[in-house]
A = this chain, B = another copy of it.
Amino acid sequence: MKSVLTSFEEATELVDDGALLTFGGATFQRAPMEFIRELVRQGKKNLTLIDREPAMDFDLLIGAGCVAKVRTGMLAFEVFGMAPNFRRKSEKGEIITKEGACQPIIAGFRAAAMGLPSLPVKGMLGSDLLTISEVIGSQKQIEDPFTGEKMIAVKAIEPDVAVIHAQKADAFGNVRIEGPLYEDVIKAKAAKKVVVTVEELISAGEIRKTPEATTLPHFIVDAVVEVPKGAYPCSCFNYYDTDYDHIQEYLQAAAKDTFEQYLDKCVYRRESE
């Protein structure tokens, strides 16, 4: 094992303009928000974002102008409603929206994690989402070679970088995600590079006490960055809950056309005049 402990700046250098990214967590839970704010601060451009059910993580990057394309199963703010920047830019044609469905997106990650060019799934037949996916080239109808059953082959999704916020890791990249895992382990295995931001660094000795608690072994992790409160305002199980008030503040800013002020205050941390 060798140390992959990295500074915030070095870790964000793994993300090139135009990269295909996915993030850990789901909606308002354990998204790597501070890393995302750093991507905004660094002015990353033309990113393609892909995930099953993201929320503020995607919308913030979209709102800050970092994103060219989005592919999700659903992108909204749960009971608070639509994702404001996603909706606005998508309707204006300022971003390209390729809607998927949760299972094909998960299956695409799984295919890449398994080292397969594609993976079959059921369902999808009769949905216009299948039609547009066939046009895009991400899904194809096939017949199972044994049963002849109609299946949908989903093309592997191999993100350039998967960014995951976790509770704990050692300096070598042995990572402990606590509570719900979502598809984080699958995403990490699928991606070319894996950046993990953590609430807390622990020693390898501590990791060795409960190997069954390690969710990502070091050899699939490229960078570990210590970022306490790194998921805020999303939750980080065992550390803090979602700050739903902050999320509503975000939505109000977007609704009132004061999103730039939100960015200044909460992302760039510029003094307001």
Contact = CB atoms under 8 A, between A and B. Distances in A.
A147 interface: yes
Interface stretch (A115-123, A183-191, A255-263): A115-123
A118 B140 contact: no
A146 B120 contact: no
B140 A142 contact: no
A175 to B, nearest CB: 14
A151 to B, nearest CB: 7
Interface residues of A, number: 23
A246 to B, nearest CB: 28
A144 interface: yes
Contact of A144 (B117, B147, B149): B117
Nearest to A116: B120
Contacts of A144: 116-118, 153
Contact of A145 (B115, B122, B153): B153
The 10 closest A-B pairs by CB, nearest first: A117-B144, A117-B147, A145-B153, A140-B145, A146-B155, A118-B146, A142-B145, A117-B149, A117-B146, A116-B120
19 contacts: A116-B144, A116-B151, A117-B147, A117-B149, A117-B151, A118-B144, A118-B145, A118-B146, A118-B147, A119-B119, A119-B120, A137-B146, A140-B145, A140-B146, A142-B145, A146-B153, A178-B212, A179-B212, A212-B213
